[in-house]
Amino acid sequence: MASQGFPQFSDGDVEISLGGRHDAKLVLHSYVLALHSSWFKASLSDRWNHENDLRLVGEKQRWFYVLQFDKGTDFAMLARKPDSESIAIPSGEVLEVEAVREQDARQTLRVCDQYEMVEAHQDLFCALYHAPLSFEDWPISAAHSRHVNLARLGKMYRCEAVVSLHIARLLGRCQDDILTACIREPDEQLSLAYEAKSAWIFKEAATNLVGRSDASYKTLRKGVQEAQVGELLDRKRADFVAALKACEHKMFCILPRQNGGPMSYTAVSFFRFWLSEKISNDGRGSGLQPGYANLYHTIRLNKVTLSTLTKEKVGQKYVDGILGVLEEQDVTELEIQLSLVVSEAAKILQSILNDTRRRNKGKKDEFRALTFIEIADEELPWSTP
């Protein structure tokens, strides 16, 4: 359906009054609304005809709707004039429009104020007519709530198929910005992804959130309102922590090299001591304090050397005590053996240092969090029964 003439069509037969600041009114086509929305299809059915809200103009029927707000609330829903509840429903019939009642709709749609509700309905009808949405050129940070509200209205009026196409198109146009937002505010992007049923945004945001430090994870987790999403995050978080501890256990189990001589034993001892101090005292690694992942990145880059160990305040006396009794050639050999131990540890960490995200690689992840957890398609909240 072409959008030319939208939102006032001279041949329209459905008049919709949204109110709002500009007393928005639309004159649309019943066949377009019924085509895309099963809610409207049922509402416009002859079974809902009523002399008070269905009028004849010549031989043409006209329907009238008004956006009605609950007294003292910001919740609103389209209703047939004058009162949708006064419309007779044939005994024994359960129409689809009946499925969207006040309690269900309240759970589906949550918006900030009445003006946003009016705007959301305007966007909805733009989507049904494939007309440009009002926020098409907005940055994702500004358009976030508009996407969410539109997706929720799509569910409420049973027209998710066409609405999701428009949302997917808009989200795809600002992919780089969304991928960056998934790092900065993954909880908000999870909400957007859940409402829009966007798998790629959901996976990206969830991977980023699950890999945060303990404090950050707990804070962001509180912002996740959907129970299914929260349960999935908690399961993945448990898998995440278990994977860290499993890798650390393997690193503690690294053995001296058979042909490495005495310095191989000393190198293993040094590495275990350093690793234990970093986890237990500094909260790095599975301690999950802010900056926890630096421990693993340091090992990956093979930056655990004698010189760096001597600069560490924690355990400095331990290190200096051993180095003080070694000959120069032994110190050199110890440096070599320590590098070999760290290289072996880096191999153990490969599985948790894998970055599964699709974010633009040119962007630096300032949080240095690990992002190896993946969300499978069958784990998506809308894919599970």
The pTM for the full model equals: 0.79
H or E element in which residue 18 lies: strand 14-19
- Alpha carbon 295 to its chain centroid, in Å, reads 27
- 175 Cβ contact partners less than 8 Å away, ≥ 6 residues apart: none
Sign of CA dihedral 40, 45, 48, 51: positive
Residues 137, 170: contact at Cβ < 8 Å? no
CA distance 264 to 254: 11
Question: How much is the pLDDT for 370?
Answer: 94
Please report the pLDDT score of residue 383 as a whole number.
83
Residue 85: per-residue pLDDT: 41
Task: Determine the pLDDT at residue 308.
Answer: 75
Residue 276: CA atoms inside 13 Å, Cβ hemisphere, count? 9
**Integer angstrom CA distances of residue 121 from 125, 149, 156, 342, 347:** 6, 9, 11, 59, 54
Query: From residue 81, how far is each of 65, 85, 176, 276, 364 by CA, in Å?
Result: 6, 10, 45, 72, 55
Per-residue confidence (pLDDT) for residue 306, from 0 to 100: 80
pLDDT along the chain (385 residues), means of 10: 65 85 81 93 71 52 85 77 42 36 48 75 92 84 86 93 91 88 92 92 96 95 90 96 98 92 90 92 92 93 82 66 74 90 96 83 63 94 77
Token pair of 380 as six digits: 């998506």
Q: What integer pLDDT is reported at residue 268 of this predicted model?
A: 94
